[in-house]
Every structure is written in structure tokens, then in C-alpha cells.
């Protein structure tokens, strides 16, 4: 199912899409339900890889990417579960990488990667070390503000997974410091708040190079989620493209039609492929695997790019 979008026809160079027919068009049609951004307990999701796959199948998702934060640890289990299904979905290996851009946390989703690539694995290990350093500092700042035990509580929720701000948000909400995780970010973890710690990530171009060397496609994650002005959003997309980026998320789980159309126009204007993803972390009323992911017409989709190798 699709919605129509009145996207502009930019006069810029369209050579970016010269290879758009080099994919298995019989596999992915305009009616294929695709969700290329999801998380498991390997990072800050609340479902194991197997349970995530089971839910995706229940929801009718046909093309799914698991994109945990800075780890590919959940992918082997996901593939094993999927292989045991009578009607498996198409599973895309992915990872979501945190980067720094003008002091902002900018996330890049890597799709169709070689999850065994040694350089990628070494890079992700360093990312998790940086994540742990930041997490400890967040805990220290919250403790100074009168919230003791936040690091330990968040760490308990994370288990063996890399500790993230999402775990802190969940812990603080469960402890009654805010009604829900989103409110925790607004009250404690957002820029300028008590528990905010400036990011310590590397540059976008570095992450994109690692992704490309692992055979993957670099996708700018949830561009309208960074609370940027229109001017700065355009600049982000432009500089992501200049850094070697391939695509950007246009279709998100929660957005207005205007936002979807605007992101589609930015993708076309900057010669970027479009991607689609719910950013699913846990079952909820408003956000669900494959929900509201209707794709506008007139865009070049990420599975049409020359790097995409998945055929079934």
C-alpha cells in the first residue's frame, strides 16, 4: 500500500540512481511490507532476536532489518530462528552507529553489511567502549543530582548488551522519576538537562567508510527526529551526502504526511535513496513493527542501490 506524495522533480544530477534496476524486482514490490530499522535485547530493545522475528512475522513484515546500536550480536540468533520458519521473511543484517555532527548525536543505519567483517567488528567494539564511558558519566551526574544507583539500575536492564541512554530512560521511568521514557529524555537526558553528557562519537565520514568497507549501505536514521530547524536539517542531509552517505530514512513509524513528503523531497534533491523503518524497540500502542510504513510514490528505494546484494 502506498500514499501519493507531491514530490518535486529536482533538476539536479540523477546519475546517483543509474543502477536502480540492479536488484531483484520480483522480490520487493510496491506492496512488500518492509521495516528496515528495529532493535532487540542485543542493544536497547525489549524483545530477543527470536521474539522480534516472531512478532515481525505475525505483523506481516516481509523485509526486516535488525539494526541494534553498535552491535551485531543479535543477528546469528535471528537468522537461526528465521531459517526454522516454514515461511521465513527476508532478513537484512544491519547495525545502527552513533556519530558526531556539530555536537549533535547523529545515527547512521548500516544495511546489508557483512556481519563478520573484522574491521567492522573492531570499530563496533570501540563504539561500545565509548558508550560505556558516556554511560558511567551519565550515572555520575544523575547521582550528584540526587538520583543514586541509576548506573547500576540501567546496567541491570541492559544485561550483556551495550548500555545506552534508552536503558537509563527505562530505569528512571520505572522508578517513577517520569511517566515514560520519552519524558525522561525531556527532563533528564536531553541536551542541557541534568543527565546530559556530550557525545564522544567519531565523525559521520568515518562510520560511513567502515560501513562501505563491510559491503553495506549507509542510511541517515530518522532525520526529522533530531529537533533541527529546516535550515539545519537541509545542511545535515547535504553534509551526510558529501560524507559518502547513500540513503536516508524517509518513512518513519511516527510522522505526519507533511514530514514524510518533506523527507522524500530532501532525499531526491540530494541524490539519496529512501529507506523505511519503524525504529521498533518494544510493543506499544503507537509504535509497532511495520505499522504506518506506507511508501510514497516517485522515490528511489534503498534496495535499488548498487550495493544491495540480498536476493531472497
The per-residue pLDDT for range 217-256, each reduced to its tens digit, is: 999 999 999 999 999 999 999 999 999 999 999 999 999 9
135-189 CATH choice from 3.90.226.30, 1.10.3720.10, 3.30.428.10, 1.10.150.650: 1.10.150.650
Domain boundaries, given as residue ranges, for the chain: 2-125+201-304, 135-189
Residue given cell 518492509 in the structure block? 34
94 DSSP β-pair partners: 111
Q: Which of 18-22, 46-50, 138-142, 282-286 has the lowest mean pLDDT?
A: 18-22
Alpha-carbon torsion angle 60, 39, 280, 65, nearest 10: -40
The percent of residues above 90 in pLDDT, for the chain, comes to: 81
Measured between alpha carbons, how far is residue 235 from residues 105, 117, 122, 244 in Å? 15, 31, 30, 14
Overall average pLDDT of the 7-16 stretch: 42
Mean pLDDT of the chain: 90
Overall average pLDDT of the 152-178 stretch: 92
pLDDT at 161: 84
Q: Which CATH superfamily is domain 2-125+201-304 in?
A: Metal-dependent hydrolases (3.20.20.140)
90 DSSP β-pair partners: 63
pLDDT at 311: 66
109: phi > 0 → left, psi -120 to 50 → alpha, else beta; which? beta
* Rounded-to-integer distance, Cα 139 and Cα 142, Å: 5
Amino acid at each position: 500500500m502506498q500514499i501519493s506524495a507531491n514530490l518535486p522533480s529536482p533538476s539536479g544530477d540523477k546519475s546517483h540512481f543509474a543502477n536502480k534496476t540492479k536488484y531483484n524486482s520480483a522480490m520487493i514490490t510496491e506492496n512488500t511490507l518492509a521495516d528496515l530499522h528495529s532493535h532487540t535485547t542485543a542493544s536497547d530493545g525489549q524483545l530477543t532476536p527470536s521474539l522480534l522475528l516472531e512478532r515481525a512475522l505475525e505483523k506481516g513484515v516481509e523485509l526486516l532489518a535488525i539494526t541494534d546500536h553498535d552491535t551485531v550480536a543479535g543477528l546469528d540468533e535471528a537468522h537461526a530462528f528465521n531459517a526454522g520458519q516454514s515461511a521465513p521473511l527476508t532478513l537484512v543484517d544491519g547495525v545502527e552507529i552513533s556519530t558526531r555532527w556539530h555536537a549533535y548525536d547523529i545515527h547512521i543505519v548500516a544495511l546489508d553489511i557483512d556481519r563478520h567483517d573484522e574491521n567492522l567488528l573492531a570499530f563496533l567494539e570501540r563504539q561500545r567502549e565509548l558508550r560505556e564511558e558516556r554511560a558511567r558519566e551519565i550515572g555520575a551526574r544523575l547521582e550528584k543530582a540526587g538520583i543514586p544507583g541509576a548506573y547500576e539500575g540501567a546496567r541491570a536492564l541492559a544485561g550483556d548488551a551495550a548500555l545506552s541512554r534508552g536503558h537509563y530512560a527505562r530505569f528512571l521511568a520505572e522508578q517513577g522519576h517520569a511517566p515514560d521514557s520519552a519524558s525522561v529524555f525531556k527532563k533528564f537526558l536531553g541536551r542541557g538537562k541534568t543527565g546530559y553528557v556530550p557525545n564522544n562519537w567519531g565523525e559521520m565520514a568515518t562510520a560511513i567508510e567502515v560501513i562501505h568497507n563491510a559491503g553495506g549501505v549507509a542510511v541517515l536514521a530518522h532525520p526529522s527526529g533530531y529537533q533541527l530547524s529546516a535550515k539545519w536539517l537541509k545542511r545535515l542531509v547535504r553534509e551526510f551526502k558529501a560524507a559518502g552517505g547513500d540513503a536516508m530514512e524517509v518513512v518513519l513509524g511516527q510522522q505526519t504526511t507533511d514530514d514524510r513528503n518533506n523527507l522524500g523531497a530532501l532525499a531526491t534533491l540530494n541524490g539519496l535513496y529512501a529507506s523505511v523503518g519503524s525504529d521498533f524497540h518494544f510493543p506499544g500502542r503507537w509504535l509497532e513493527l511495520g505499522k504506518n510504513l506506507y511508501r510514497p510514490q516517485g522515490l528511489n528505494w534503498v534496495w535499488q542501490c548498487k550495493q544491495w546484494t540480498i536476493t531472497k
